[in-house]
Amino acid sequence: MFVDSVELSLLSGAGGSGSISFKSKSTKSSPNGGSGGDGGSIYFKPDVSIYDFSSIYSSSSFKAENGEDAGKDLQDGKNGNDLFINVPLGTSVFINEEKVAELLDHNATFLICSGGKGGRGNRELISKRNPNPKISEAGEKRKSVKVNLELSLITDISILGIPNSGKSTLIKSLTNSNAKTASYPFTTISPNLGVLESSAKNMIICDLPGLIEGASQGVGLGRSILKHLKNTKVLILVLDPINSDYTIEEQIKLIETEVNKYDDNLKNLPIIKVVNKSDLDKKNDNYINISALKDEGIDKLIQEINLYDFTNLDSINKSFEKISLHDEQFSVEEENGTWLVTGDMVDRISNLNGNDYDVFNEISYRFERSEIPAKLEDLGIEKGDYIKLNNYEFEYEN
């Protein structure tokens, strides 16, 4: 089964906690608690040997390893392993319907869900302000993200035409593909790929399902077919001289209209027009005549294909887009004078271990130096209001 869209739930690893320990137990001096390991991150990694999502379709949730907690006496916790999910080239990544990345380059590994940082132990928290810390940081929590992946196949040539025109028969004649063919329309319901071996470069050819009127608006398989044209370089239009509904010229008009309506830039792609089924005595001198079934005219078509320099041709989607994911740092809700602040930044400030007094002092220190107080003032916080950071609540005094 060809799978070209999939939804995945991803969970990065949590950071391990830092520890609190001291070299000399009796005096509680010389902090030597180790730091927690970082949680594993999740990456998408383009793999040129796969052409759809069938390898990840059945396991729709992925988890990276947690970092280990630290031990005493400078024992740092181990980092959790990162997780790499192999995806085909041409994968677009969406979060909440917003495209965050498109993988068009086989080296372009994409970080989608970063692991929680390990918490620092009291050894690393030594500072002038606090030379003998009795606190440590908890590791950052795991992050979860739901993503939708959409594939637009990266190909050299795509074969288009109305249903039953002989597209699949042609890819079988040109390549090693074993596409199914039959004497009725809509035989092909997902793309078939094949490789045309040529002295210059092996070319990836894609046979697509038949296009019908309204395809660009989603009629039939419409848009799920047309999306694969973004990453192709040359089109072969297979025309059917024995179709009873459309003449050759009408077929050209229909296909070109739907393709250009879907994306105006596609009109820049070169089109090779072939009239198929020439064995039925239906040749047309204006076009290349072939019989995909009888292998006639195929050499002529290959010569025509070889006129294009595929190495230097671009698809319309030439630029590699990589949009960085913006972490939401914190958010604020207010109710009856209590300001609830949540988010990654709050976790970094407040996820501490140790005795209440030391922990609270450290939280106040980190809070005052963060961007949160200024934001709360902007939002109108007043003296005597309460601020809640996770489990810690205190009065605002400024």
Ligand X SMILES: Nc1nc2c(ncn2[C@@H]2O[C@H](COP(=O)(O)OP(=O)(O)OP(=O)(O)O)[C@@H](O)[C@H]2O)c(=O)[nH]1
Q: With respect to ligand X, which residue has the nearer C-beta, 167 or 230?
A: 167
In sequence order, what are the residues at sequence separation of 6 or more whose Cβ sits closer than 8 angstroms to the Cβ of residue 295? 173
In sequence order, what are the residues at sequence separation of 6 or more whose Cβ sits closer than 8 angstroms to the Cβ of residue 16? 36, 37, 38, 39, 66, 67, 68, 69, 70, 77, 78, 118, 119, 139
Strand, coil or helix: what is 342? strand
Q: CA 370 to CA 349: how far, in whole Å?
A: 9
The side-by-side arrangement of strands in the sheet containing 83-87 is 83-87, 42-46, 110-113
From ligand X, Mg ion, none, interface partner of 277 (C-beta below 5 to 8 A by class)? ligand X
How many residues lie near Mg ion (CB under 5 A)?
Answer: 4
- Applying CB under 6 A, the residues found at the interface with ligand X are 161, 163-169, 181-183, 185-188, 209-210, 276-277, 279-280, 291-293
* Residue 293: Cβ within 10 Å count: 17
- Do the bridges between strand 157-160 and strand 144-151 make them parallel or antiparallel, or are there none, so unpaired? unpaired
Q: With respect to ligand X, which residue has the nearer C-beta, 200 or 280?
A: 280
In sequence order, what are the residues at sequence separation of 6 or more whose Cβ sits closer than 8 angstroms to the Cβ of residue 242? 277, 280, 282
**Minimum distance from residue 230 beta carbon to ligand X (Å):** 21
Q: Can you say whether residue 194 is alpha, beta or left, with left for phi > 0 and alpha for psi between -120 and 50 degrees?
A: beta
Q: With respect to ligand X, which residue has the nearer C-beta, 62 or 287?
A: 287
Q: CA 291 to CA 280: how far, in whole Å?
A: 9
Q: With respect to ligand X, which residue has the nearer C-beta, 165 or 351?
A: 165
**Minimum distance from residue 225 beta carbon to ligand X (Å):** 10
From Mg ion, ligand X, none, interface partner of 90 (C-beta below 5 to 8 A by class)? none
- Do the bridges between strand 386-389 and strand 338-342 make them parallel or antiparallel, or are there none, so unpaired? parallel
In angstroms, how far is CA 212 from the centroid of its own chain? 30
Q: With respect to Mg ion, which residue has the nearer C-beta, 85 or 211?
A: 211
Q: With respect to ligand X, which residue has the nearer C-beta, 178 or 364?
A: 178
**Minimum distance from residue 263 beta carbon to ligand X (Å):** 21
**Minimum distance from residue 372 beta carbon to Mg ion (Å):** 60
For residue 86, give Cα distances in angstroms to 48, 83, 102, 276: 9, 10, 14, 39
Q: With respect to ligand X, which residue has the nearer C-beta, 116 or 210?
A: 210
In angstroms, how far is CA 285 from the centroid of its own chain? 46
From Mg ion, ligand X, none, interface partner of 398 (C-beta below 5 to 8 A by class)? none
**Minimum distance from residue 274 beta carbon to Mg ion (Å):** 15
Site map (CB under 5 A) of Mg ion, residues 184-223, x = contact: ---xx-----------------------------------
> Which residues from 136-175 bind Mg ion, rule CB under 5 A?
167-168
**Minimum distance from residue 174 beta carbon to ligand X (Å):** 12
Strand, coil or helix: what is 150? strand
**Minimum distance from residue 221 beta carbon to ligand X (Å):** 10
Q: With respect to ligand X, which residue has the nearer C-beta, 185 or 343?
A: 185
From ligand X, Mg ion, none, interface partner of 295 (C-beta below 5 to 8 A by class)? none
**Minimum distance from residue 157 beta carbon to ligand X (Å):** 15
Applying CB under 5 A, the residues found at the interface with Mg ion are 167-168, 187-188
